[in-house]
Amino acid sequence: MANSGVNINKVGIGDIAVYIPAPKVDLQALLKHRVAQDPKSERRFSRALDTTGQISMRYPEPWQDNSTLATQAAYALLQRVEPEKLKGLRYLTVGTETGVDHSKPVAAYVEGALQRAGLAVPTSLSTFQVQHACAGGTYAMLSVGALLQAAQRPRESGVVICSDIARYDVPSTAEFTQGAGAVAMLIEPNPRLLELDVGTQGYSSKDVDDFFRPLDSITAKVKGGYSVQCYHEALDEAFRDHCERLGNSPQEVLEATDMFVFHVPFYKMAFLAAHTLLAAHLDRSPDEIEEFLKTRGFHDSVEAASQVGNIYSGAAYMTLAFHLAGNYARVGKNIVGQRVLICSYGSGNTMSVYSAKVAEGAPEILSSWDLPAVLSSAEDRGIAPYEEWIAGYPNRESYNTMVKSAEIPTSCFYLKSIRDDGYREYEVQ
User: Can you give the pLDDT of all 429 residues of the chain as single tens digits?
Assistant: 344 455 667 999 999 999 999 999 999 999 999 999 999 999 999 999 999 999 999 999 999 999 999 999 999 999 999 998 999 999 999 999 999 999 999 999 999 999 999 999 999 999 999 999 999 999 999 999 999 999 999 999 999 999 999 999 999 999 999 999 999 999 999 999 999 998 999 999 999 999 999 999 999 999 999 999 999 999 999 999 999 999 999 999 999 999 999 999 999 999 999 999 999 999 999 999 999 999 999 999 999 999 999 999 999 999 999 999 999 999 999 999 999 999 999 999 999 999 999 999 999 999 999 999 999 999 999 999 999 999 999 999 999 999 999 999 999 999 999 999 999 999 999
pLDDT of residue 352: 98
**For residue 356, what is the enclosing H or E element?**
strand 350-358
The CATH T-level fold of domain 11-428 is: Peroxisomal Thiolase; Chain A, domain 1 (3.40.47)
What secondary structure letter does DSSP report for 103?
S
pLDDT of residue 1: 34
* Of residues 191, 197, 198, the one with CA closest to residue 14: 191
| 8 Å CB contact between 186 and 13 | yes
**For residue 428, what is the enclosing H or E element?**
strand 424-428
Adjacent-strand bridge partners of 26: 56
Adjacent-strand bridge partners of 196: 11, 356
How far does CA 310 lie from the centroid of its chain? 9
pLDDT of residue 72: 98
Torsion sign, CA atoms 253, 158, 220, 66 = positive
Task: Kindly list the distances between the CA atom of residue 311 and the CA atoms of 79, 264, 276, 308, in Å, as whole numbers in the listed order.
Answer: 23, 9, 23, 8
| 8 Å CB contact between 90 and 125 | yes
pLDDT of residue 9: 78
| 8 Å CB contact between 183 and 312 | no
Task: Kindly list the distances between the CA atom of residue 260 and the CA atoms of 234, 270, 298, 299, 356, in Å, as whole numbers in the listed order.
Answer: 16, 10, 7, 10, 11
**For residue 95, what is the enclosing H or E element?**
strand 89-95
Q: What does DSSP say about strands 379-380 and 23-26: parallel, antiparallel, or unpaired? A: parallel
| 8 Å CB contact between 138 and 196 | no
Task: Determine the Cα–Cα distance for residues 202 and 200; give it in Å rounded to an integer.
Answer: 6
pLDDT of residue 2: 43
